[in-house]
Structure 1
Amino acid sequence: MTDFAAFAYPWIKAGHIVSFVAWMAGMFYLPRLFVYHAERAKPGSELDQTFQVMELKLMKLIMGPAMISTWVFGLVLISFGVVDWSQPWPWIKAVAVLAMTGMQGWLSKRRKDFAAGSNSRSGRQFRIANEVPTVLLLVIVVAVVVRPF
């Protein structure tokens, strides 16, 4: 590792962790907003409009940038050559991160359904969806920290 890389590595790692924490905060909160939106707001009502503003800002101002910066910092860390791809843990993490990215895409589509007044999912379905990021978080953290495989 060059002197610059040795200096930059902990800063990039810190940026990756902070970005991931922000991304996860949004991944936990947005489905919960959808629960209340589905259960309490009639399409076109003032409450519906309030939820739509909250959901849009959460996606565009927090979740989107946090997801992108998580990916960028993570790819930069990989470029330092510190990941041993012959072990299972980075592959498990990679699959879980791809699944988390897919989950964000699914949530984005659900937000657009609410905005169009065409949500067809119940609060219960969003409660179940709210568990997906938790499971993925556990997989990612255990894969990286414990490396059980």
Structure 2
Amino acid sequence: MKLNSAVVLASAMLTVTPTMSARGSAQTELQTKLVKISKDFMDDWKAGKSAALADILTQDFIYASPQGAVSRQTALNVVSHCQLSSYSFERVEMRQLSADAAVLIYKLNQDLTCFGKKEPAATINSDTFVRRGGKWKIVLTTQTTLSSG
């Protein structure tokens, strides 16, 4: 008996759609969770909660910018000398690399002064997350300044 190709295709689509939908829902849920962690970091920074900041970062955290790469301890020290007045995220995207790793990419608008110097108002950031011991933490943050023109 010959099967109609349209019936086979429709049947395959019905079988695949719930899986794709569930995957999409899980991706959306993970992105929401990771955005919250990144925003918690910014909120804790703004509020001067250094212990909370440290808890969001892995012990082997690295921060990389056009000025170079620094360790977790150096990054936390620099943050303690900065005043974050406001921030917002735009164009947030996430890529899940594995069950325990994902990258969040976003435009960061900020009103930030470090060591008495005004920092760039707009950057593109990426936060790389790993899940260790069941908890998502940031292992790497990169930041690139956007041109003002």
Q: TM-score range by the shorter chain?
A: 0.3 to 0.5
Give the TM-score of the pair, scaled to structure 2. 0.34
Greater share of strand residues, 1 or 2?
2
* Higher RCO (CA-CA < 8 Å; seq separation 6+): 1
